[in-house]
Amino acid sequence: MTHFEDFKVGDVTELGSYTFSAEEIVRFASAYDPQPFHLSDEGARASHFGRLCASGWHTAAIWMKLMVAFQKRHAARLIAEGLPLGRLGPSPGFDDMRWLKPVYAGDTISYSARVTGLAESRSRPEWGLMTMINEGVNQDGDVVFSFVGHVFVERRPA
Amino acid sequence: MTHFEDFKVGDVTELGSYTFSAEEIVRFASAYDPQPFHLSDEGARASHFGRLCASGWHTAAIWMKLMVAFQKRHAARLIAEGLPLGRLGPSPGFDDMRWLKPVYAGDTISYSARVTGLAESRSRPEWGLMTMINEGVNQDGDVVFSFVGHVFVERRPA
């Protein structure tokens, strides 16, 4: 998949898995989301979460980390094979961001992206707009995180 | 404002301002979003951003940081005044997340939340659902970040 024309609705990209350690959960939350249930098991016991769990923004940031790593691997592979590499443009934004279940310390979350829409851009003929549902699923198969993303993908030169 | 009944559509809460240092931009991006334009001015010069700018997830995480700090100040004030403190429930999620302009190193972003909707919950009579537009505005008055948030707020006991 190098250009907009190479994608089709239903394509799924596995971005990889990530285990959230207690240490990293606390470090992220201390900097950006210092609520008691993100800082210690003791603080979480008094909440409806029950035990230490990650900030929702941490769960989202790890999606980004794995997406960037995937893009780098993908680009390196295309370059190694001598294939052209379509550019990714800016994202117009994200919708329907949902944190459906807690991500607890020790949980392993597997992230994937599924293409749900492909639209040519009239105003920007070099680009197509791809819509994807991004999900994070824990080791029990529960969806813990999802959002709808949009990104411009370069079209194959005519 | 202690309970759902105390809010009205149009209420604006100023959450505070935050200056994004180059050092913190690079630290966040190194951990979670290591794209060249988030890691150095040199890397950014080759991109459409032109110079070092923050990961969109960093901009979002700082919103959370300021929101948590605001809630803590607010709760402390109500307790000091002997007023009852309504609980905030879980958020069903966020919509329409937009990164409208880059946040460059040295930019100061002021965050605010404006109430746009208040709905009683039929299924959960103790709670009301509040909808807010959250925005980040830079020192030039440009909106750089916005999203629609939803949160359950406890209703005043009958």
pLDDT digits (tens, 9 = 90+) for B18-36: 999 999 999 999 999 999 9
Reply yes or no on whether the pLDDT at B1 is more than 70: no
Q: Nearest Cβ partner of B93 from A64, A93, A99? A: A99
Please tell me if residue B6 touches chain A, with a CB cutoff of 8 Å: no
Residues A139 and A19: their CA atoms lie apart, in Å, by 10
pLDDT beyond 80 at B45: yes
What is the ipTM score, two decimals? 0.91
Q: Which chain A residue shows the shortest CA-CA distance from B60?
A: A57
Instruction: Give the count of Cβ contacts less than 8 A between chain A and B.
Output: 63
Alpha-carbon separation of residue B18 from A58, A79, B35, B70, B97 (angstroms): 19, 40, 22, 13, 19
pLDDT of residue B37 exceeding 80, the answer is yes
Mean pLDDT, all residues of chain A: 93
Residue A1 has pLDDT above 70, yes or no: no
pLDDT tens, position by position, A70-96: 999 988 998 898 888 877 777 778 999
Whole-model pTM over 0.80: yes
State the pLDDT at residue B48.
Answer: 87
Mean pLDDT of B113-138: 93
Please report the pLDDT score of residue A145 as a whole number: 97
Instruction: Convert the pLDDT of each residue in A28-71 to its tens digit.
Output: 999 999 999 999 999 999 888 999 999 999 999 999 999 999 99
**Average pLDDT score over residue span B70-89:** 86
Tell me the per-residue pLDDT of B141-158, one tens digit each, with 9 for 90 and over.
999 999 999 988 999 887
B54 to chain A, any CB pair closer than 8 A? The answer is no
How many whole angstroms separate alpha carbon A112 and alpha carbon A133? 8
**3-class SS at B35?**
coil
Contact B94, B149 (CB under 8 A): yes
Nearest-angstrom CA–CA distance, B126 and B137: 34
CB < 8 Å to A68, chain B? 33-35
Judged by a CB distance cut-off of 8 A, whether residue B84 touches chain A is: no
Write the DSSP string, A49-111: T-S-B--HHHHHHHHHHHHHHHHHHHHHHHHHTT---PPB----EEEEEEE-S--BTT-EEEE
Contact yes or no for A62 and B35 at CB 8 A? no
Alpha helices in A2-55 (DSSP H): 22-32, 41-45
Chain B residue with the nearest C-alpha to that of A93: B98
Ordered by where they begin, the domains of chain A are 4-154 (3.10.129.10)
Whether A16 and A69 have beta carbons less than 8 Å apart is answered as yes
